[in-house]
Chain A
Amino acid sequence: MIDGSRRDHARFRQIIRGKIKQDLKKYIQHSEMFGRKGKDVVTIPMPQIDIPRFRFGSNQGGVGQGDGQPGDPVPGQGDPNQPGEGQQAGKDPGEHDLEVEFTLEELAEILGEELELPNIEPRGQKTLKSRVDKYTSIASQGPNSLRHFKRTFKEALKRQIATGTYNPDKPVIIPIKKDLRYRSWKSDVKHENSAVIIYMMDVSGSMGDEQKEIVRTETFWINTWLKSQYKGVEARYIIHDATAKEVDEDTFFRTRESGGTLISSAYKLCEHIINQDYPPDDWNIYPFHFSDGDNWSTEDTKICIDLLKSSLLSKVNNFCYGQVDSRYGSGQFYKDLTEVFGQESELVTLSRIENKDGILQSIKDFLGKGK
């Protein structure tokens, strides 16, 4: 890449970032449009940014070539224009979109800046060990590209002085093979904080597709943000109706049951998972529970609250409950929790998501505490 291009490309990325920030709400709501490219890169389709000029409207038509009868549609419509030399924007059928790539890290950065999310202060010890290689030492062997010029000459100088071949009046230093020195690495062990997200979702009949789509979108952004804050983030998934079970991510979003709802079953399983795998001293723990707010009985709600108070809350960083409004749900559970914990609780974050428009605010609710 020639220099100017690198500069202009960086500038272009900056402008794209600005556009995404500007319309963050839209992009958050429609994150299903994002494409995945590898593990850490998403591609985001966005309208081409172009410079406005006087141009003809869509009733212009034109000349094409090929078979077909009058009245037949012109082939190749909807295809993106081939970006290439002969291309003239807007003159051919089909306009093309930009497809921009962002790493999840960049995305989290944009999210953080726009929602003004505070950085999380991790708790617990730094138990996650990772190895970092740093080029801080010197070796007598290595590839030429890593040759340490100064040290090589130092060695040569030492040798020449020791052997008496060094002449201060005519200081010529010639390194021989033995003198060559190379940069080399040392492995450091770095300790990091680790975190686990435990997602729970009500999959009883009253949670429809729209509600699940909202949950999916929320989890994408929560993952993105927490991954930017912790080095190693694990995610576990629990679905429940009257009973709870642990599933993988895919099943989590696909399963649909028709039974009743006992929220306590999920909370019990969550507690079990924490006890078994994630000692709270070493882990930052984030349980997220999504439901439409219906619980089978007030009895069960009481069990849930007791469970939270007596055990769960002492182990987690932040317990998040997101209530996705649905036509069938009563929304009672949110009221019950609010009654007990209030809106401003340190350890419990409650958020009601009425529809897709509410996603942005609820992400802010969940992640805005910096815990």
Chain B
Amino acid sequence: MKSTNLPPELAELRDQIKGYAEGFGLDCFETIFEMVPSDAINSLAAQEGFPVRYPHWRFGMNYDQYSKGYEWGLQKIYEMVINTNPSYAYLMTANSFVDQKTVMAHVYGHVDFFKNNYWFSKTNRKMLDTMANHAVRVRRYMDEYGQDEVENFIDICLSLDNLIDPHLPFHEAKQPKTESEKTASRQNDGRMKVDRQYMDKYINPPEYLEEQKQKRAAANKQEKKFPSHPERDVMFFLMTHGPLQDWQRDVLRMIRDESYYFLPQMQTKIMNEGWASYWHSEIMTKKALRDSEIIDFADHHAGVLTMQPGRINPYKIGIELFRDIEDRWNKGRFGKEYEDCTNLQERAKWDKKLGHGRQKIFEVRKVCNDVTFIDEYITPDFIDRHKLYTYEFNKRTGQYEIVDRNFKSVKEKLLSSLTNQGHPNISIVDGNFENRGELYLFHRYLGVDLDLKYARETMRSIYTIWTRPVHIETEVDGRKRIFTYTAKHEFIAKD
């Protein structure tokens, strides 16, 4: 497929950059570049890259902010690419030639990542169409039930869109079972298959059968619970069991599908940006850059990678960590021998001339997500070199303050901010609490309290769907507490 409106010189450039990317071993979907003016790119960015979305005010709010940011010269969107097959990427018409070059190289990095990273393997690659279908359906519901009514319900669904199960796409057993599968497993009494009848009492001795029976009883008991296991996909639970009208159920389903689509992008922010930046830098500096363009390139490259004081830039951490891994595997700076070496001089000079670096980073981009990437590959050296620190909110001074630069705590803090995409881990444990049809949620507490103001509003959303009181068990200041959103729209705390 060919890009629709790419001027010839850019089409040529694209073929060139694509050639370089493939030469380096990148493996991309067909990528279609569209030229768009700055205003359109703000619109697209406001709609998370998709040209057609359902009507919703938040896209308008995003647009307001992007276009003001652009107008005031605060920020400019250089690059946007959609994870579909073929992939779509946007080039801003006002960008200079060298910018377009850099953006193309960067985009190919992303597309390679979309295609090859494991966490993206289950995503819907026809999302462009799906989004457009969602738009059509939502518009139809709006015509039928009124814009306010539908939009309010969308707001409610959106307030739950982080309550999904990040492992669901990869968990065969968790895929919703059909009725016939369920009956099949119920009829099976746990006997092993026996070909010779006389072997039966050896293959299926009475103790074994007794054990199976107990297991089954436990499983049955579990199944009688509702839900049978703690359900992290709160959206799915409400969609299946909530007293909703058909159109509401459909809207909830759409928002959930979109949420699962965006999930891997949330899970691999650091890696994805790091990988793309690594490759634009590699392609540009080693192949594509002309002498006259070097200053502009260096300027923009530096701009993308600057660290704002006090916060970390995923582009920067990502690219540096990929480079660090490449360097370590080139020089053999890993494994027991290196770790145990206490001679600093020896360590500084350590070089086994392994040359496995490139191969290693390709492997990392295939299997890791941000959590495993940081967990596996960040080193004390890296944290020192990049001056990372942890900070915490000091209630006394009302400010965020630096706490320490200790390897363990920086790594822990970084991981905890990435765990579950930085959202609290919440599941439904009982859908018929105390046999009153009330919903009981459990927040798996990992040291950080919920924001109660937001919790209250979110519980209101759940209540609106479930129409019965909703409870949540969590901890506040180290003490277990249960909050209830009642039928009188009160928010009550119990110990």
Contacts and interface: CB of A to CB of B under 8 A. Distances in A.
Given A51-B155, A64-B310, A1 B39 contact: yes
B240 interface: no
Interface in B406-437: 410, 413-414, 417, 422-424, 426
B452 A57 contact: yes
B55 A11 contact: yes
Interface string A16-28: 0000000000000
A74 B394 CA distance: 11
A86 B77 CA distance: 11
B391 interface: yes
Interface residues of A, number: 54
A84 B47 contact: no
Contacts of B413: 61-63
Interface in A57-72: 57-72
B308 to A, nearest CB: 6
Interface residues of B, number: 84
Interface stretch (B12-20, B283-291, B360-368, B395-403): B395-403
Given A5-B47, A11-B60, A84-B75, A61 B403 contact: yes
B77 A70 contact: no
Contact of A74 (B39, B273, B310): B310
Contacts of B308: 76, 82
Nearest to A78: B399
A56 B75 contact: no
Nearest to B65: A83
A75 B47 contact: no
Contacts of A77: 310, 399-400
A2 B38 CA distance: 11
Contacts of B75: 82-84
Given A64-B402, A76-B310, A53 B77 contact: no
Contacts of A8: 46, 55-60, 63
A13 B158 CA distance: 20
A4 B51 CA distance: 8
Contacts of A4: 43, 47, 51-53, 55, 59, 135
Contacts, number: 220
B312 interface: yes
A248 to B, nearest CB: 31
B311 A64 contact: yes
B39 A12 contact: no
A66 B40 contact: no
A76 B309 CA distance: 6
B144 interface: no
Interface string A336-354: 0000000000000000000
Contacts of B64: 9, 12, 98, 100
B198 interface: no
Contacts of A62: 311, 390-391, 413, 417
A175 B169 CA distance: 66
B202 interface: no
Given A52-B461, A63-B388, A69 B448 contact: no
Interface stretch (B159-167, B172-180, B189-197, B208-216): B159-167
Contact of B392 (A9, A14, A61): A61
Given A9-B64, A68-B389, A83-B66, A55 B451 contact: yes
B310 to A, nearest CB: 4
Contact of B390 (A53, A63, A86, A92): A63
A49 interface: yes
A76 B313 CA distance: 14
A84 B309 CA distance: 16
B400 A86 contact: no
Most chain A CB within a 10 A radius of its CB, from B158, B404, B417: B417
Given A59-B393, A76-B311, A9 B63 contact: yes
A98 B61 contact: yes
A10 B59 CA distance: 10
A99 to B, nearest CB: 7
B388 A64 contact: yes
Interface string B146-163: 000001000100111111
A61 B393 contact: yes
B44 interface: yes
B159 A52 contact: yes
Contacts of B387: 65-67
Interface centre among B269, B391, B423 (most CB of A within 10 A): B391
A88 interface: yes
A260 interface: no
Contacts of B155: 51
A95 B348 CA distance: 43
Nearest to B393: A58
Contacts of A85: 45, 77
A80 to B, nearest CB: 9
A88 B370 CA distance: 16
B400 A73 contact: yes
A254 interface: no
B61 A12 contact: yes
A55 B452 CA distance: 9
Contacts of B426: 54
Contacts of B229: none
Contacts of A13: 60
B43 A65 contact: no
A15 B57 contact: yes
A331 interface: no
B43 A5 contact: yes
A91 interface: yes
Contact of B60 (A5, A51, A56, A68): A5
A10 B311 contact: no
A63 B312 contact: yes
B52 A59 contact: no
A55 B424 contact: yes
B449 interface: yes
Interface centre among A4, A58, A68, A92 (most CB of B within 10 A): A4
B314 interface: yes
A93 interface: yes
Interface of B: 39-40, 42-47, 51-53, 55-61, 63-66, 68-69, 74-75, 77, 135, 151, 155, 158-163, 269, 273, 307-315, 386-393, 397, 399-405, 410, 413-414, 417, 422-424, 426, 443, 448-452, 454-458, 460-461
Given A2-B40, A52-B457, 15 more contacts: A1-B63, A4-B53, A11-B60, A55-B450, A55-B451, A57-B448, A59-B449, A61-B400, A62-B390, A64-B388, A69-B402, A70-B389, A71-B401, A74-B401, A84-B69
